[in-house]
Every structure is written in C-alpha cells, then in structure tokens.
Structure 1
Amino acid sequence: MGRNTRKRRTPMATKVVAGAAALAVGGGGLVWADFHASAHEENPAHNRTRSAAAQVATIDCPDVGQQLSGVPDRARGEVDGELATMDSQITEAYKRLATTRRAQAGDPQFVQNTILGPLKDRRKAIIDRIQLEIDRAGGRADDSLDQLAGCQGQPAEQPQNGDGQDGDGQDQDGGQNQDDNGNGAAGPVADDFIGIDDVEPDSRDSGNGPAADGDGGSTGTFTTDCGVNENNSFNSDNLIAAPGVDNGAHHVHDYVGNQDNDAFSSDEDLADADTSCRNQGDRSTYYWPVLRLQDGTEEFDANELGGGTEGNVGRILKPAQAELKFVGNQQGDVVAMPKFLRIITGDAKSFTNGEANANSSWSCTGFEDRQVTDKYPLCPEGSQVVRTSNFQSCWDGRNIDSANHRDHVAFVQEDGGCPNGFQAIPQLQVRLVYDIPTPTVENGQVQNPYAVDSFPEQLHKPITDHNDFINVMDEDLMNEVVDCINSGEDCQ
C-alpha cells in the first residue's frame, strides 16, 4: 500500500524519534478487561482484569487553537504554522515521557523538571509570536492566551481534563505499561472496548442527529459516491487545520473525492484536481483518520512521521463502504454551500480537550440504534464496525473558514433550526463500514485490537475520531444538491 505523494516543501514539523510505537503487549495483544462481564452481575468488577496500560500517563495541554477568534486573514497562515509547531512540541514531550519511565520512577520531580517545565517555556514563546503576528496584521491579541502555556500530566484512565492530577505525569507508583526497553505503549487499552450488547439502545444522539428527521422542512437527500480510497491516497497532513505544514496531523488520513490533498494544495489546485467521485462535478475533499488493525503488520509508513514513529502502527483498514450523504433541515429550506467551505467535525484532541467537540460515534451493523462515542465496539460474528459523523449544518453566511476552524459553522439547535445569524446548508453525513476480524481473548489478553490513528499523546482513544470536508462541488452540482433536498427528492 503506497502513499499519495507530490513535491513537498521543507517540513516545518520537527522529526521525532521512535519509541512510543510499542504495542501494549508485543505481537498485537493487550491486557483485556473481560467485556463479557455483565453490568447486572453482583460483583462485575471481580470478574475483570485491570489493564496494565490503564495507568499510562499522557501530556494534557490547553488547546490554544480552539481559543483563537478574530485572527486577521493575513495572519492566518503564520498562526496556523505556529500552532502546528506547538503540536510538534507536545509530540516530542510525549515521546520523552514515554521513553523515560525508569527515570520517572526514581525521581518524582523528573517529569515536571525535565519535560513539563521546558515544554511550558517553549509554548510561551510560540504564544508570544502568535500574539505579535495578530497585532502586526491589525488584530487585537488576547492577553489571556499566556495562561494556556502550561501543561499537565494526565493518567490515561481519565477521559478529559480532570481533577486529581498530580501535575508530574505519574500515577502513585510511577508505573506505566512498558516494553523491555521501558518504552510506554501508545494504546489502545482494554477499557477502550465494549461489547455492542452492553451499549444501551438510543443512549446517545449521535452527532447531533440527522438534520432531516421528522416532518416538514427540507426532507430530500443527495448521495455522492466517491469510493473507498481505491487510489491509496494517504498522508499525515491536514489542509484545513495546518495548511503548509508537512505532517501537520501527526496521524494518517484516508482521502476520497479530490485527489490533490496535501498540506500545500491551494484552492486552485483543488479546483483543477481529479476526483474519485462518480459525479465528476464533485471535487470535494472528504477525509478521516485511518483505522488500523494492530496485528504486527509493517505498513508503508512504519518508519515515517505520522505512522510508526508516532505510535500509529499496524495494518491500515480501508472501509468496505463509505457512504457520503447530504440531508436537509427540519425547519425549512437549505441554501448552497460556498465553494471551498471547510468543516471539521469531532475533535482529534478530545481525550485531553474534553468531550465538548467530540462528535463521531461507533456502532455495529444490525445494532445501529446503539451508538457510543468513547469506546470501540466489539461486534458479533457477521456484523461490521460502523463509524458515523454528522457535520455542522448551519453557516454564518460569510466565511469559508475561521481562526479556530469552528466559529463559521454551527450545529442546529434543539428545535432543528439554526442559531441567529446562521443559514441552513446541506448537512454532510459520513457512514464508514469496516470488515474487522473479531478480536479474540486468550489468557486475559485481546489479540489484534483495532484503533483510530491519533496524535501520539491522545493514545488512540475512540473519542478522538473526527472527520473533515472541503466543498469543491461546481456550481451546477451544488444547485442540484440544494434542489433535491428542498424538493424532498432522493438523488445521487
């Protein structure tokens, strides 16, 4: 399996050494909590084996990018580059954390003095540059950004910014799941999985729900068929969040639709590119982090940034199905999306940021009334794993992007309408279906777990799943999408 390549500029991201790519238990297994134990048992905890990797600590840093607003357009490129450098600093700090477990055990201040303290100083320097760049471009920098420089150590069992952190990145016994060299495992851990039968039906409104549910409004649909990445278009860039930065995502994406998708693609490049979509008027970019089966396979990126050197290991799994559908709004008609509109749904850093922007959900075919955000489902034989992302479907009517890549779009409100000042646009719904071998449990371990690619410090948590879209439909096709949805037709 190869990587889609083109001539690339000098990478801004700093290369990091391998070390955190070790699996929890070598050869693709991990210590397993007995997922067959029922919640109705008298003492279900007695039937579970605590995962050794549950004590793995990670780096928890405030997300500076999410706090930015009002960045002048001419400062956006510089600011995005600085934020990408900050992500690289966190990656390096996590690698340092994962490869110094013995030193941490011998010195309770090791993490604070040698990892978190220097990281804070480096982040403060970048924040200062961001503020200067905003001011130079005619904006007004927020002085409170300085408060976001410091990071903490977080025990892996805590799903979000939590209380009870000891500030030095260690649990009480200083332990981490380690290989023979003392390297920390990158995840996932046993507690990241759940049997689909243990998920309550209708327990979660996945992705703020389909916008066109119920009577009234615009009830049509438009489905675009763009394949399942048969062209092997992969890279670890992020054109939306880190334009111009090589390896800006620190994990690998699947791409369908537009075939010119790297960090250096301009809007003109996108408009002129080939597309994998059956309708050649759709050159939109649809991308998401790959799933991998951690079976010991060495992929094409086993020794590359974004891949094995950053803890993303194992066989890349393409979806068996990639369903891309646009739906309407409960309260009324939708308007056309502007060309080159960018939307990110979900949060690649939800494990440390918290669940506020988490939006993708997991399920199994035949059980899709059961949706879960923070666990990988274990599907019964004959059932397939399903990832679902329902995008924001309200637009501010002016901007194709925003400084934090969120403020220009919004989800519908509880009544199905858009917030004041926003217009309803077609809602993209992405449903990905995977054939994944059912994990087996042997001697308290699960063999060949699967996981989503992630930033190293996010430990492959399922809550970090996310999905990205850039609208590059031509005007005629976008008008057709709108007409189909507003007239109540089902088109493709």
Structure 2
Amino acid sequence: MKWNSAAAVFGLVAPTHALLRFGCSQLTIQRLDPLVTPGQNPSPHLHQIIGGNSFNVSMDFPSHDLVKLSTCTTCQFTEDLSNYWTAVLFFRARNGTFKRVPQLAQAGMEGTKGGMVVYYMSDALFDTAQRSSVTAFKPGFRMLVGEASYKDREQARDFRQLTYTCMENQASRSPETVGFPKTPCKLGIMANHRFPTCWDGVNLDSPNHRDHVAYPETGTFESGGKCPSTHPVKIPQILLETVWDTSQFNRKEDWPEDGSQPFVWSNGDSKGFGNHADYVFGWKDNALQKAMDAHTYVSAPMLRTQSISEQNKCTVRNMVNENFDGWLKELPGGNPIF
C-alpha cells in the first residue's frame, strides 16, 4: 500500500495544506528510554534523541517538566522543548560485526548534526479552505507509536504509515515500504514515523503509552479521516523523518551471501517491522496551539527560530558508559537479531 505524506507534497506542488516543518539536530545517542523503561540505566536498546536538554533516565510528569527544566533545544523553534526519539540503525557486515549508520541532513538543513525533520500538520492534504482545527497537546502528554518486538507484516498492520523510503536523492519521497528496502539505496534510507491523530481528551498517557490515542476510523489524517467516538479529539499529525546515510554500505560484496538486506535496528530487528518512535510533549505555554491555529505553511512567524549552529550546541551529558562507534562484535546491550 502506498501513502501520500506531507513530505511527498512539500516542494512539489503549491501550498495547499497547513503544517510546520523544521529540523532538529541530535541531542544525544544513549541506551535510555524514559517512556518505556523509566529509571532503567541502561535501557534494552540504543536510541537517538532530539529536543530539549532536560532529557533524562526518568521523566515523570509533573516532577519532570520539560519546559521548566530545559535550558536549550536542538530544534529550530526554541519554544519546542519536547523530546522525540527512535531506535538507531546499524549495518551488519558479512563477518557478523556491526557499525552504526550515520544520519544525513536534508536539503536546506546542511550542517545539522544528525537528528530528524519534524512535521506538525493541522489540516488534511488539499483542504484548501483550511477548515480543519486541531487541539494541541497538553503538558504531560506523551505517546509511543510502533512496537519494538514486532517481527512480521501482519503485526505491523497495527500501526499506519510507519514506513521507509529508499532515497536516490534528496527529493526522493516514494515509494514507501513497511519493511526495510531490499536493495541498496543510492543516498540513504529515510525512516518515516507518523503518530496517531485522535485523543480520548482525558488521559495524558496510558500504561502502554498508546491506548489514549488512536487513528481515524477510516483512512488517515491526511485524507481527512474522522476520529472514532472513543477518541474524539483531533490532535496534530506528527511526522518524523530520519535519513540514515547508508551510501557507504552499498557494496554488495559486504552484504549477506544470500542477498538479504544488511541493516538492523538497535533492538535487533532485521526486517524493519519493529519500527517505533516516542514523543514527550514540551512546547512552551500555548505556542503550538497558536501555530496550529494560524494554518501557516512550513514557517511560523509567531515562533522564534535559532540557527543550525545554535541547535548543534545543545547537548546532554552521557549517562551510559558504553561504546557504540566503530566495528562492534554485537549490538549495544547484546540484543539478538530477529
């Protein structure tokens, strides 16, 4: 199945929908997960994190208020002190060793240290009247999309639009696949994480970090799908794009002898169906709601922007003492391949 995304339309047609699109450099890469395994140091697998520098081993709200505790953010808009994170991509060589795949900045964001591109959409695609309205997330809101343990396509159907793009160049946005691309990608592999867009209107979180949010009854946010009665509040569509620079690993003689693709997530997933991402809301005051209500396209004049060099300066201390660079005999944490 093929989906159209905000990214697929960006730059190819006249603006017909409202969205924020901005870059966030890498805050840190550590084996921590304050959402799924709070307080556990180290957590089971490695993550790459962007956003506010109050990221920590535990981030329980209200004791951990990202807005109050963060002094900087790696994101372009300084009002966004949220944290976003995904697993880390590794290359598995024919001899069984592993090497972390670096991240690549998108066109127009050159100089960004790692990180991702973030989208917040307030309108369905091609809703030229911009009749849609969304309710911005509240302090303490958090959610998870995807399941790290999923091993096949049938399981992955639980989540819509967690996909990959095999990029020939910076303009590549299609086709999208649910599993890892099976052939070498000239530029790299883009991982696309689209979060649910309907909220129950009550709970800021749930035990599995998923039940308080839902997808539209039919279709997608982009197609204007209606929220189910159990989750009636329409929230912004968050899309994360991470470009993994796989170009240095394209020599077929380095790939497995059986011709299978050689990339694995840091949790051990070699098929790509365990794709997942985490989000902890941390926008200042009502800045996000103002931006969504303005129905602007890409830019947001009501928000303060910072330079890429300023984004790159924002970091956090290393809380896990382990090496994950160079050639490794096993994935960090010793996660088995599945």
- TM-score for both structures, normalised by structure 2: 0.67
Letter in 1 for 2:105: A
- Aligned residue for 2:66? 270
| Correspondence for 2:271 among 461, 484, 488 | 461
- Asked if 1 retains the 8 angstrom alpha-carbon contact of 2:181 and 2:261, the reply is no
Does residue 370 of the first structure (1) align with residue 167 of the second (2)?
no
- Helix, strand or coil at the partner of 2:192: strand
- Helix, strand or coil at the partner of 2:66: helix
Q: In 1, Cα distance between the equivalents of 2:97 and 2:33?
A: 16
- Helix, strand or coil at the partner of 2:2: coil
Relative to its length, the structure with more helix (as a share) is: 1
- Aligned residue for 1:347? 147
Does residue 387 of the first structure (1) align with residue 200 of the second (2)?
no
- Aligned residue for 1:419? 228
Does residue 451 of the first structure (1) align with residue 261 of the second (2)?
no
Map Cα deviations across residues 299-329 of structure 1 (whole Å, 9 max, x no partner). Answer: xxxxxxxxxxxx9942242343421010124
Q: In 2, Cα distance between the equivalents of 1:283 and 1:269?
A: 10
- Asked if 1 retains the 8 angstrom alpha-carbon contact of 2:103 and 2:243, the reply is no
1:447: how far off?
10
Which ranges in structure 1 are unaligned for 5 or more consecutive residues? 1-202, 298-310
- Aligned residue for 2:109? none
Map Cα deviations across residues 143-181 of structure 1 (whole Å, 9 max, x no partner). Answer: xxxxxxxxxxxxxxxxxxxxxxxxxxxxxxxxxxxxxxx
Q: In 2, Cα distance between the equivalents of 1:245 and 1:478?
A: 31
- Asked if 1 retains the 8 angstrom alpha-carbon contact of 2:182 and 2:261, the reply is no
- Asked if 1 retains the 8 angstrom alpha-carbon contact of 2:18 and 2:123, the reply is no
Does residue 491 of the first structure (1) align with residue 299 of the second (2)?
yes
Q: In 2, Cα distance between the equivalents of 1:355 and 1:334?
A: 27
Q: How does 1:55-454 map to 2 (within 5 A)?
A: 203-205=1-3, 219-227=17-25, 229=26, 231=27, 233-248=28-43, 250-267=44-61, 268=64, 270-271=66-67, 272-273=69-70, 274-295=72-93, 313-321=98-106, 322-330=116-124, 332-351=132-151, 354-359=155-160, 360-366=162-168, 367-381=172-186, 383-414=187-218, 416-420=225-229, 421-436=231-246, 437-442=248-253, 444=257, 449-454=262-267
- Asked if 2 retains the 8 angstrom alpha-carbon contact of 1:384 and 1:433, the reply is yes
Q: In 1, Cα distance between the equivalents of 2:2 and 2:83?
A: 28
- Asked if 2 retains the 8 angstrom alpha-carbon contact of 1:294 and 1:450, the reply is yes
Which ranges in structure 2 are unaligned for 5 or more consecutive residues? 10-15, 107-115, 125-130, 219-223, 301-338
- Asked if 1 retains the 8 angstrom alpha-carbon contact of 2:35 and 2:59, the reply is no
Q: In 1, Cα distance between the equivalents of 2:97 and 2:20?
A: 34
More RCO (CA 8 Å, sep 6+): 2
Letter in 1 for 2:273: I
Change (3 A) 1:372 1:481: same
- TM-score for both structures, normalised by structure 1: 0.48
- Asked if 1 retains the 8 angstrom alpha-carbon contact of 2:191 and 2:243, the reply is yes
Change (3 A) 1:480 1:370: same
**Percent identity for Structure 1 against Structure 2:** 21
1:377: how far off?
4.3
Change (3 A) 1:313 1:484: farther
Let me know the Cα RMSD of the aligned residues.
Answer: 3.2
1:290: how far off?
0.8
Change (3 A) 1:490 1:390: same
- Asked if 2 retains the 8 angstrom alpha-carbon contact of 1:335 and 1:423, the reply is yes
Q: In 1, Cα distance between the equivalents of 2:185 and 2:259?
A: 15
1:205: how far off?
3.3
1:211: how far off?
12
- Helix, strand or coil at the partner of 2:85: strand
- Asked if 2 retains the 8 angstrom alpha-carbon contact of 1:350 and 1:357, the reply is no
Q: In 2, Cα distance between the equivalents of 1:447 and 1:390?
A: 27
Change (3 A) 1:369 1:438: same
Q: In 1, Cα distance between the equivalents of 2:21 and 2:94?
A: 37
